[in-house]
Structure 1
Amino acid sequence: MKSVQDRVQALLDAYPVWPRRTIAGHFDEAVKKYQNRTLVFTLEKEYTYAEMQERSDLLARGLLALGIRPREHVALLMGNYPEFIISKLALTKIGAVCVPLNTMLLERELAFLLEDSDVVALIFNDSLGKNNYVDIIGRICSELTVQPDGINVSCAALPRLRNVICFSANDSIYDDLMSFNDLYRLGEGISPDELQRVRQATEYPDDICDIMYTSGTTSLPKGAMMSHDMLLRSSYAACLTRAVEDGRRIYFPLPLYHIFAYELGLLVVTFVGGAIVTHAQFTPREALELMEKSRANDFLCVPSILLAVLNHPDLKKHDLSSLHATMCGATPAPVPLWQRAVDELNLQEMCAGYGMTEVSGASTITSPGDPVEVMATRVGRLVMANCSGLPEFGNRNIQYKVVDPFTGKELPPGEEGEWVCRGNMVTRGYYKRPQENVELIDKDGWLRTGDLGIIHPDGLFQITGRSKEIYKISGENVSPKEVEEVISTHPKVNQVYVLGVPDRNMGEVGVAFIELKPGEESTRREIVGYCKGKLARFKIPHHIFFTSSSELPFTSSGKIKKYKLAERALSLLEKDGKKS
């Protein structure tokens, strides 16, 4: 293994000048260099760069046959199958916008996103885990009608929707649904020259290529608009900061609809001719098998996944000697967990980081070789940039400052406040959310992150809390207001307040304080059961406390003091022996 300095220098030499490209153009260059190398490794099969290029070209031609036009929106609801990546690449080749959807969401949540994002086509898994998406999409589009051409559809609930394509891992066929293979066959009727013509007409690196939904301060998710150039600069910066070597193989079970896996996994490896190692759904046993079989070098994860792998009884039976690095993010991991990773996985380079969808992924990352104490208490330094940075941002891709969360006034170095940022990695705004755009992004491009923290004199960032109420469960954002609105519809509930509290395994978990209507009685089981058909599982509160109105802490203006509820929750959990 080359030294960190030598690996960084190789990346500097490879990109002396920043090449402004679309993701499709960037992938073309990667295929020229690494065509016979593996890009995607699964337990069933390996796919080379050349194979993924060939398949995505054919799928892109199929999309053109459907009439998908540049800048139109196409939703992608799929697990971590190679076909997810093929679809992503195909959409970039025709200048369309991908709307990746969270596979953990329930029917009503998916219905909202499909309508809000104005998609004209949907590519989806027939099933994933316990979710039968054929049935779910069938109910969302209950009036789906196939047009006489047998290709286009109409749907009263989603009037913009023209095409629905169903991917089945076992090649199942469904009536009235176009299959993934059907789309390939349609592509055979479109010439490569026609695809090339479209490619040349859509080579705009600053065009939006993804709308990625993230929870906001309201109960409704917001679609952050991401451009090709933003995502590529961010991924190159991550390569530099983590000193990613030629050919690195990165295992991750994190979903590709998340910016974490997409940026730090898939896009990163294309800069170095590496491979991603993944599977549709995580199990610790399969994770160990994949890392051993693929000779993985790197492990992208969140603390709960890292802990599950370390706790698996067969850990020592697997040869993981090729593994030398990990990046564990989304929520802070304690020192003992980092130390176990060092001792039991023999890792030499571990990284923590900070980021969000709106900044194209990780904007701060710790350095390879930082001690575990740093990774447990800090979230890194600004990512390196080299030629991808700009002078106006201090030759970086992004710059941060700390402001008073109430007045917006910039605070002196070393003081705690809200982080705000701007740069060539920062979103232009949220799709169809003019009010949120005005509230969260000022005229000079500074984005309010909603996170509280300190920027220390040594350049290390320390996160101390959130100025907004969103909390994260194993990397998934949860809006308390959304959960409150569901629970408040229960016929026995008078009022409810939801917040997040720390949890050593999942980062944070939800707590609900519920006041029942006079004379009513209820149980945790009843409330959880009521939520199950209305909220994704990770959004359902982990702890539920029934309370009286007199016990709820309000301000003089009638606003709930959630920080007081958090203190009470921690006290109750400690008393009950459930301290997180």
Structure 2
Amino acid sequence: MTVALHDLLPAGLRRGWAAEGTCPDLDLYSLFRARQIADPHATAVIDAKGELCRTALDRKVRCLAAGLAGLGIRAGEVVGVQLPNGRGAVIAELALAALGAVALPFPVGRGSLEAEVLLRKAEAVAVIASVEHRGGHPAAELRALVPALPELRHVIAAGPVGSAPEGTIALTGLLRSDPAAFVPARPDPDSAARILVSSGSEAEPKMVAYSHNALAGGRGNFLASLMPDGTPPRCLFLVPLGSAFGSNGTAVTLARHGGTLVLLDHFTPESALAAVREHRPTHVLGVPTMVRMMLERLAGPASGAGEREGELPAPTALVLGGAALDETTAEDAARAFGCPVVNLYGSADGVNCHTGLGKGAPEAGSDGIVAGRPDPRVADIRIADPETHEQLPDGETGEIIARGPMTPMCYVAAPELDARYRTPEGWVRTGDLGMIGEDGVLRLVGRLKDIVIRGGANISPAEVERELASHPRVRDVVCVGIPDRLMGERLAACVVPRGPEAPTLASLGAHLTRRGLEQRKHPERLLVIAELPLTPAGKPDRAALRARLTESAPSAAAPSAAAPAPAPPLAHAG
């Protein structure tokens, strides 16, 4: 049985974008193969094992595709991929594209319960995972799930020869298959190529199906807008390729644009700075928290690794998404890296807008954070009434909706999500609040659902975070709501200090007053931590922070400041 993946966008729109050249109208493997033929010795991947050229990569892709076909994996079937950033993840994604199968990548670090949900709902017939990664044993953990997953026929273990756990298939054996015997499937470019996993606010992770054209076309046009001279990009991915943000890797950087992927198997600020110096990427893709950690290393005492020696080679751009980017971080990063800092507003659900290669930092004000001018070659963006979905006039605040070449097909095995987040005309409902001014610029205001309700009054955590980020003693901040028996909820600020002295709850309140934020929106709890915990996808882990605050909540209902505490474990984005 194969999960049904239907397209909620009118077929005429898809065909129109292909006919006018907005989408390449080729499957991902065919796009990569054309690049390989054009320049067979160009570097495709740089990872911990060294450099891999396009021809060597293509041979490995064909070997794996032949091996997977020998296991009976067919076009349209879903295969999970839980591999760290490296050539293995790239080979797997291209091999599945060549088979016409659907890749379901998800980052290393997601627990077995979540993996079970993903694989079950997607009706995955196989999954490829590492034998060992950073002390964990993903392949063995996934093998243990087989009795609960009747559709899952194979667990493929990636690791040294002889290391595959009992009951799994060694990836090394599949890579010895005869590549000459493999004939690519050439799937319909409008058919599903990859399932993106969204780290949204649902009880279970959302899965979103994307076609070859939506990835290489819509998402490919996003990266093209950040390539000023059309030169193939050299992209350093600090986020996992298995995340939604990471889908700009194999499908976009490599297949669509013929670029080079620079990959770290897990993120640390030291390894990221070393990669910038050694490999001179044109684009660095990450989340703001990662860049703040890199800036802190640059500003601190020089280490034996010599992080402060010499200037950093300037990329074309730092591309930051996944969380709000404040002006202080943008300005500091632009100065340290000597390049524009691009504020990316995007999600797996099908929205993308960015501030471009201008020199100025993204502005923030009372009317929200600037997200840039929507690009119809990527996604047309409108502001709609949240109830009627009717378009609102310029200058009015409403729900951000999007539709365009990058729009996904549907949610996977979740008709209730299709009904909730897609309009009959195929528009994606983001759940974000925004406005488009007369200048055509999109500004983000907050979330429809991400609201703290204190004594019946609504507070937007995004608004408070935006103002706290400008405090001189705040390096990083996340605001969350915590339960309170008197008020229902109270707002808590989780702060990573800038410098040796942490801010106090009183100083944060005074700062917000000076910024014009009314008293009822001020945080009433403060948690001081060394680093923000990150999800496997590299975003701030709000659930972990909320749990930490809830566990340490005082017995009295009165507001308080939590004592400074060691940071929760930092999930590595790899």
Pick closer, same or farther for the CA change 1:118–1:272 going to 2, 3 Å. Answer: closer
Within a 5 Å distance, the mapping from 1:239-254 to structure 2 comes to 239-244=223-228, 245-254=230-239
Using the TM superposition, give the Cα deviation of residue 572 of structure 1 relative to its aligned residue in structure 2, in angstroms. 4.9
Which residue of 2 is the match for residue 290 of structure 1?
275
Which residue of 2 is the match for residue 255 of structure 1?
240
- Is the 8 Å Cα contact of residues 314 and 338 (structure 2) preserved in structure 1? no
Using the TM superposition, give the Cα deviation of residue 217 of structure 1 relative to its aligned residue in structure 2, in angstroms. 5.0
Which residue of 1 is the match for residue 3 of structure 2?
none
Which whole-Å CA distance do the structure 1 matches of 2:294 and 2:216 have between them? Answer: 31
Q: In structure 1, the residue corresponding to 2:94 is in which secondary structure?
A: helix
Which residue, out of 422, 434, 440, partners 1:441? 422
Query: Does 2:299 align with 1:329?
Result: no
Within a 5 Å distance, the mapping from 1:549-568 to structure 2 comes to none
Alpha-carbon displacement from aligned partner over 1:201-256 (angstroms, at most 9, x marks no partner)? x4300111112222455412221111001111123312332125413311121000
Pick closer, same or farther for the CA change 1:20–1:316 going to 2, 3 Å. Answer: same
Which residue, out of 357, 368, 372, partners 2:357? 368
Which residue of 1 is the match for residue 65 of structure 2?
60
Pick closer, same or farther for the CA change 1:88–1:320 going to 2, 3 Å. Answer: same
Which whole-Å CA distance do the structure 2 matches of 1:104 and 1:515 have between them? Answer: 34
Which residue of 1 is the match for residue 549 of structure 2?
543
Pick closer, same or farther for the CA change 1:112–1:66 going to 2, 3 Å. Answer: same
Query: Does 2:172 align with 1:181?
Result: yes
Which residue of 1 is the match for residue 432 of structure 2?
451
Provide the aligned C-alpha RMSD in A. Answer: 3.3
Pick closer, same or farther for the CA change 1:408–1:16 going to 2, 3 Å. Answer: closer
Using the TM superposition, give the Cα deviation of residue 177 of structure 1 relative to its aligned residue in structure 2, in angstroms. 2.1
Which residue of 1 is the match for residue 478 of structure 2?
508
- Is the 8 Å Cα contact of residues 212 and 224 (structure 1) preserved in structure 2? yes
Which letter does structure 1 place at the counterpart of 2:278? K
Using the TM superposition, give the Cα deviation of residue 285 of structure 1 relative to its aligned residue in structure 2, in angstroms. 1.3
Within a 5 Å distance, the mapping from 1:78-89 to structure 2 comes to 78-89=83-94
Query: Does 2:333 align with 1:341?
Result: yes
Which residue, out of 423, 440, 452, partners 2:404? 423
Pick closer, same or farther for the CA change 1:269–1:515 going to 2, 3 Å. Answer: same
Within a 5 Å distance, the mapping from 1:34-45 to structure 2 comes to 34-45=39-50
Q: Percent identity, please.
A: 24
Greater share of helix: 1
Using the TM superposition, give the Cα deviation of residue 548 of structure 1 relative to its aligned residue in structure 2, in angstroms. 8.2
Which residue of 2 is the match for residue 122 of structure 1?
127
Which letter does structure 2 place at the counterpart of 1:120? V
Within a 5 Å distance, the mapping from 1:87-102 to structure 2 comes to 87-102=92-107
Which letter does structure 2 place at the counterpart of 1:328? L
Which whole-Å CA distance do the structure 2 matches of 1:370 and 1:266 have between them? Answer: 28
Using the TM superposition, give the Cα deviation of residue 364 of structure 1 relative to its aligned residue in structure 2, in angstroms. 1.0
Alpha-carbon displacement from aligned partner over 1:112-164 (angstroms, at most 9, x marks no partner)? 222111111010012222422244224434xxxxxxxxxxxxxx211111111
Using the TM superposition, give the Cα deviation of residue 287 of structure 1 relative to its aligned residue in structure 2, in angstroms. 1.2
Using the TM superposition, give the Cα deviation of residue 79 of structure 1 relative to its aligned residue in structure 2, in angstroms. 0.7
Q: In structure 1, the residue corresponding to 2:346 is in which secondary structure?
A: strand
Alpha-carbon displacement from aligned partner over 1:398-417 (angstroms, at most 9, x marks no partner)? 22221222343332111111
- Is the 8 Å Cα contact of residues 238 and 264 (structure 1) preserved in structure 2? no
Using the TM superposition, give the Cα deviation of residue 99 of structure 1 relative to its aligned residue in structure 2, in angstroms. 0.9
Using the TM superposition, give the Cα deviation of residue 56 of structure 1 relative to its aligned residue in structure 2, in angstroms. 0.4
Query: Does 2:301 align with 1:320?
Result: no
- Structure 2, unmatched stretches of 5+, are 1-19, 301-305, 454-459, 470-474, 487-524, 526-532, 566-574
Pick closer, same or farther for the CA change 1:171–1:40 going to 2, 3 Å. Answer: farther
Using the TM superposition, give the Cα deviation of residue 266 of structure 1 relative to its aligned residue in structure 2, in angstroms. 5.7
Which residue of 2 is the match for residue 146 of structure 1?
none
Q: In structure 1, the residue corresponding to 2:324 is in which secondary structure?
A: coil
TM-score when scaled to structure 1?
0.73
Which whole-Å CA distance do the structure 2 matches of 1:399 and 1:203 have between them? Answer: 27
> How many residues end up aligned between the 2 structures?
468
- Is the 8 Å Cα contact of residues 197 and 243 (structure 2) preserved in structure 1? no
TM-score when scaled to structure 2?
0.74
Using the TM superposition, give the Cα deviation of residue 425 of structure 1 relative to its aligned residue in structure 2, in angstroms. 1.5
Pick closer, same or farther for the CA change 1:18–1:77 going to 2, 3 Å. Answer: closer
Which residue, out of 342, 347, 350, partners 2:341? 350
- Is the 8 Å Cα contact of residues 91 and 97 (structure 1) preserved in structure 2? yes
- Is the 8 Å Cα contact of residues 101 and 257 (structure 1) preserved in structure 2? yes
Which letter does structure 2 place at the counterpart of 1:128? H
Which letter does structure 1 place at the counterpart of 2:150? P
Query: Does 2:228 align with 1:236?
Result: no
Pick closer, same or farther for the CA change 1:218–1:273 going to 2, 3 Å. Answer: closer
Which residue of 2 is the match for residue 300 of structure 1?
285
Pick closer, same or farther for the CA change 1:499–1:340 going to 2, 3 Å. Answer: closer
Which residue of 1 is the match for residue 489 of structure 2?
none
- Is the 8 Å Cα contact of residues 227 and 233 (structure 2) preserved in structure 1? no
Alpha-carbon displacement from aligned partner over 1:17-44 (angstroms, at most 9, x marks no partner)? 7531011111111112232111111243
Q: In structure 1, the residue corresponding to 2:411 is in which secondary structure?
A: coil
Pick closer, same or farther for the CA change 1:207–1:281 going to 2, 3 Å. Answer: same
Which letter does structure 2 place at the counterpart of 1:315? E
Alpha-carbon displacement from aligned partner over 1:538-565 (angstroms, at most 9, x marks no partner)? 332242264789x7xxxxxxxxxxxxxx
Q: In structure 2, the residue corresponding to 1:235 is in which secondary structure?
A: helix
Which whole-Å CA distance do the structure 2 matches of 1:84 and 1:290 have between them? Answer: 19
Which residue of 2 is the match for residue 560 of structure 1?
none
- Is the 8 Å Cα contact of residues 249 and 269 (structure 1) preserved in structure 2? no
Pick closer, same or farther for the CA change 1:23–1:301 going to 2, 3 Å. Answer: same
- Is the 8 Å Cα contact of residues 440 and 447 (structure 1) preserved in structure 2? yes
Q: In structure 1, the residue corresponding to 2:434 is in which secondary structure?
A: strand
Which residue of 1 is the match for residue 572 of structure 2?
none
Which whole-Å CA distance do the structure 1 matches of 2:126 and 2:479 have between them? Answer: 35
Query: Does 2:180 align with 1:192?
Result: yes
Alpha-carbon displacement from aligned partner over 1:478-521 (angstroms, at most 9, x marks no partner)? xx9xxxxxxxxxxxxxxxxx9887385666354432669xxxxx
Which whole-Å CA distance do the structure 2 matches of 1:339 and 1:499 have between them? Answer: 23
Which whole-Å CA distance do the structure 1 matches of 2:360 and 2:162 have between them? Answer: 48
- Is the 8 Å Cα contact of residues 277 and 291 (structure 1) preserved in structure 2? no
Which whole-Å CA distance do the structure 2 matches of 1:20 and 1:410 have between them? Answer: 31
- Is the 8 Å Cα contact of residues 74 and 120 (structure 1) preserved in structure 2? yes
Which whole-Å CA distance do the structure 2 matches of 1:469 and 1:169 have between them? Answer: 45
Which whole-Å CA distance do the structure 2 matches of 1:117 and 1:296 have between them? Answer: 35
